[in-house]
Amino acid sequence: MSAAEGPLVVGVDTSTQSTKALVVDAATGRVVASGQAPHTVSSGAGRESDPRQWWDALRTALDQCGDAAREAAAVSIGGQQHGLVTLDAAGDPVRPALLWNDVRSAPQARRLIEELGGAKAWAERTGSVPSTSFTVTKWAWLAENEPEAVRAVKAVRLPHDYLTERLTGEGTTDRGDASGTGWWASGTETYDEETLARVGLDPALLPRMVRPGEVAGTVRDSHDLPFSKGTLVAAGTGDNAAAALGLGARPGVPVMSLGTSGTVYAVSQRRPADPTGTVAGFADARGDWLPLACTLNCTLAVDRVAALLGLDREAVEPGTDVTLLPYLDGERTPNLPHSSGLLYGLRHDTTAGQLLQAAYDGAVHSLLGALDLVLDADADPSAPLLLIGGGARGTAWQQTVRRLSGRPVQIPEARELVALGAAAQAAGLLTGEDPAAVARRWNTAAGPVLDAVERDEATLARIAGVVSDAAPLLERDGGTR
């Protein structure tokens, strides 16, 4: 490893499937070491993970970074949003964490919306209408289904909070991740007492809110990671807010992330409040806002369709009138948590490659349908769409997004933007800079731009028509629109 030009920082991405760690030169943004270790996610009735394996994965990822991790002056954790981590008096998990894509709390989500004034009231108070992904619905589900577990709970955390607390010994969170709980009021930027009372959650069980740029704590003695005692620990944040930091995103620039979930978002200086629930009114990690729409089914769903067809994920073929809605795990946008996939328009001459292309089209359609709601009215409609996440490297994803959006598409060369954003947050502690400015100095968004092509209005209209016509079927198993 060549000598660094500045101090080293560590950025972490603890995602649904794995934990990744980057050691970054704070002066240049050069990644000097990296590591990654997988997680196990249950595949039964719900989606759960034991938080202790996140710590084990973090230790493995940092061990892969070697001596560079030991030299770090600051560290920050970015993590999957919404997950419900319940801890006992000793700080150990009471039960496995309920993850963002666990849809068992759909009945609780519907009931909470009704009991607390309806969708418009929720949007005005918290910025969002809670779906089954939101942490508040998961706590309500746990209280109804596992009351003994709830009685044992002495602390409630989000995934990134859990790892940060194990580093520092202090329970902290940040506005970006807290805004996805459903019990954080975006207007006052405080925990919402009415919501907490309704679900029977004592606010004393929740972590302290750390302001943007504030130090969350320092690494304590009792840990088995390579950091020195006293190493600075930043607030950390949720994965989408961390990725926005990693891009150095400016207000109005659209971002589409193609991962386990698919998201579209843009930094905004206006506090969002969409009463339809399509757009979640999240906060960002700096003091602005991050209106966002999310689908449950993205790269994993399309890869599953490819596997069922016995095809490589790139083996798409054009010229199809078939429609495939890849709602393999239910869906969040549209809000159909109990729906399943739907295939329409199949004919004798339909090829396997055309079916696969239809899966791509169905996944991208849901995201683009929310993009106009995410962006402010004065946003530039010709601005390049930043395409990030694992799917952004795939030609079929790139061309589908281009064809259905009608926008130029920019593909940042920087990888692991969540971990890079966390690293930028850690670097900001050392330099006093805005983390987004740090990322822009690192030039993280640089990458090729694919020119705009004519928007495929016919495909968009066809898919929208199928979604509308199939609504009674999609909703029959308990989904709601």
Cite the active site residues.
239
Q: In the chain, what's the furthest Cα-to-Cα distance?
A: 67
Helix axes 299-309, 352-374, angle to 10 degrees: 170
Q: What is the DSSP string of 70-102?
A: HTEEEEEEEE-SS-BEEE-TTS-BSSPEEPTT-
Task: Give the Å distances, CA to CA, from 138 to 72, 86, 179, 200, 254.
Answer: 36, 11, 15, 12, 30
Residue in this structure with the two tokens 């199949």, named with its chain if needed: 346
CA distance 87 to 66: 31
Q: Which amino acid is at 235?
A: A
User: Are β-strands 72-79 and 232-234 bridged in parallel, bridged antiparallel, or unpaired?
Assistant: parallel
Cβ neighbors of 349 (< 8 A, separation 6 or more) are none
Helix axes 159-168, 51-65, angle to 10 degrees: 60
Query: Which tokens belong to 74?
Result: 């600051």
CA distance 402 to 54: 36
CA distance 88 to 95: 9
8 Å CB contact between 85 and 205:
no
CA distance 104 to 196: 20
8 Å CB contact between 161 and 181:
no
Whether the link from the prior residue into 334 is cis, omega within 30° of 0, is: yes
* Phi/psi-derived region of residue 336, left when phi > 0, alpha when psi is between -120 and 50, beta in every other case: beta
CA distance 321 to 347: 9
At 328 the three-state DSSP class reads: strand
CA distance 51 to 324: 35
**329 phi, psi to nearest 5 deg:** -120, 35
